Amino acid sequence: MCGHVSSTRPAVLKVELACELSQVRPAAVTARRFLLEHGCAENEALDFEMALVEACNNGIQHAAPNARHQPLCLETYCHDQFIELRLTDHTPGFDWPSKVSLPDSNSESGRGIYLIHALMDECRYLKGAGGNTLVLRKKRIRPKQTST
């Protein structure tokens, strides 16, 4: 016979932002507030905010010219044990590096991916024909306690 099974649905926030750099900060602040409202520690929410800013900036700066009218889609999932952020962009896509290191101090790019990796427990980049999705996941610092 099966024991007690507990199933919960994550709290979810979905935000679309125009493919404009001016839209990044408001979306990141909205996501941070959402995480705080759902019991995340301040430093945990700030980690996601910083990673999100980097990811959104890249998604906007590298959007294909014919896709700049399409919004970025941000989905934030607040589970009991972890937080997951998914950002779908309309860039041509690229190969996410399997190993990330801090670029040379003279380099003009590459710090964003390094920062994202440093802040998250897991990073995946899924390339697709209609868009690409960056999936960022981090264990909760203080997992939400479930009632028994």
Residue ranges of the domains in the chain? 19-131
Q: What is the CATH number of domain 19-131?
A: 3.30.565
Which tens digits make up the pLDDT trace of 56-98?
A: 998 898 888 888 899 999 999 999 899 999 999 988 887 777 7
Look up tokens 């800013």; give the residue: 53
pLDDT for res 128: 87
pLDDT of residue 111: 78
Beta bridge partner(s), residue 75: 14, 86
Give me the pLDDT at residue 144, please: 55
**CA–CA separation, 133 and 43 (whole Å):** 24
What is the pTM assigned to this prediction? 0.84
Rounded Cα distance between 78 and 112, Å, is 23
3-class SS of residue 79: coil
Asked whether 83 and 40 are in contact (CB, 8 A), the reply is yes
